[in-house]
Each structure stands twice: as C-alpha cells, then as structure tokens.
Amino acid sequence: MSLLSVTNLHVSVDSKEILHGVSLEIKAGEVHAIMGPNGSGKSTLVNALAGHPKYQITKGNAEFQGKDLLNIAPNTRAQAGMFLAMQYPKEIAGVTLRSFLFAAYKAQMMARDPEFKAVSPVRFQKMLEEEMKSLHMDPAFAERAVNKGFSGGEKKKSEVLQMRVLKPHLALLDETDSGLDVDALKTVAEGVESMRGPEFSTLIVTHYARILGYIVPDHVHVMVAGKIVESGGKELAQRLEKEGYAKYV
C-alpha cells in the first residue's frame, strides 16, 4: 500500500520555483533516501510535505495514507503520523524536553485513538528514560529546555528521541547526519533503524552515503536542480559516494 504518493510537485519560495515537478511514491515499511548537492531542493521537498508555510505548492498532488495531503493543516499532518526531523532543530526556552514530549505524546495518542487513556507522569518518565538510554542520552537532558544549549549532536539525538516517543508512520529526516561525529552518527542511525517495520517508513535527505551504511535504503533518488534525475537501489548511494554529482550537474 502506498503511504505517501507525490505527483508532479512544484514548490516555490518567495515566488521563485525550487521544485520543478517531483514525483515519488513511498510504500509502508520502506526506507527512501534523497541525495544531491547543496541547493538541489531536497530540504524544500520535506518542508513542503510537512506543511511549512514558507514553501508554496503551486502545482501537483500529494497524498498521505490515501488522503489529500495538501489540504491538511501542518498539525493535522503530524497527528496523522508524519514527523519532520529538522536540519536545524529549534530551541524552545522555558519548556523542558520532558514536558514537551509528555504533552506531544498525549496529543498524538489521543488524535489516533479518542479512547486513549492518558499515562501518568511517572509511567511516562520511565518510558522516556528507556528511550533515552537507547540513544546514550543522559536522563538529565530531559530536564533542560528543548535544545537550549545542546550541541549539534545532542540536538539531533533529541529529534530522534522525539520520533521514537511519538512513533510516526512516516519520518522525514532532513540531513539528520549533518554535524555528527562517527559515534553520534551510529547512535542516531541505530535509533532510527530499530524502528524499522511494516508501519514505519522513512525518507532520508542527505548529501553523503555514510548514514546509509547504518540505515540501508530500499530506494535511492538523486535530486539535482529541483528534479529527481535518477533512482535506484542502495548501490546508487555507494556510486554517488565515489563519483559525486558532477555527471548530473
């Protein structure tokens, strides 16, 4: 079954068209990777799918779980099971990571099941600490303001922690590997890979193939100048790592 279907998508930013007819289909349980040079439109695609108001969809269609995605508000997209891990995670002063995740978890579960019975703060704390342990995160981070003073690697781990708590159906990972050292990259990748299953799909945006050594994609797409110019299997990522994007540019 198709989880996400994108057809001939055109997206503009400040009246300048960035995407020129992108088509993509992601089935349940699949891992897709979009690779390409800087400025090729990779981040534009995932932000537009998530509903960022800066990105204006001028043409084309997109369906998520069989419903018209483009007429759904961003918060409703999230409640339906779409998650965006941002390239540059935002700081939220005055709100602890634990409080933020507890509120988000309750809202997400109630949106999926109106009869969901709220968990107690103590039970949620235990669940959160187990997830943090799997990402080698100090539980003390849960008491700090969201991303406030976090290093780049800690911010990316925080994003993956949010994903693991909210359990989306589709995760859009916008350069989650950027700025990570080898150990942090492995931890983040393993945190994503461990969720792999028939009810969890992933779209990874990246420049390099190194994260794809830990999260093996089913499909790899090359995006250049706002278009997908080639698609293939995991071997395509390996070739791009050796040859780069010169042939496309």
Residue 248 lies in a domain: no
pLDDT less than 70: residues of the chain: none
Residue type, 126: K
For 74-111, the pLDDT digits (tens) are: 999 999 999 999 888 888 999 999 999 999 999 888 88
* pLDDT reported for residue 221: 96
Residue 249 lies in a domain: no
* pLDDT reported for residue 7: 97
**What does residue 149 show for φ and ψ, rounded to 5 degrees?**
75, 5
The count of structural domains within the chain is: 1
pTM, two decimal places: 0.92
* pLDDT reported for residue 230: 95
CATH number at residue 105: 3.40.50.300
Nearest to 147 by CA among 189, 104, 89, 88: 89
* pLDDT reported for residue 77: 94
DSSP state of 54: T
Beta carbons of 208 and 20 less than 8 angstroms apart: no
SS3 track for 164-205:
HHHCCCEEEEECCCCCCCHHHHHHHHHHHHCCCECCEEEEEE
* pLDDT reported for residue 40: 93
* pLDDT reported for residue 129: 94
Nearest to 79 by CA among 46, 44, 114: 114
CA distances from 149 to 132, 134, 153, 187 (A): 18, 22, 11, 20
Structural domain range at position 103: 2-243
* pLDDT reported for residue 130: 93
For 178-198, the pLDDT digits (tens) are: 878 888 888 888 889 989 999
- Total residue length of the chain: 249
Residue 130 lies in a domain: yes
Residue type, 207: H
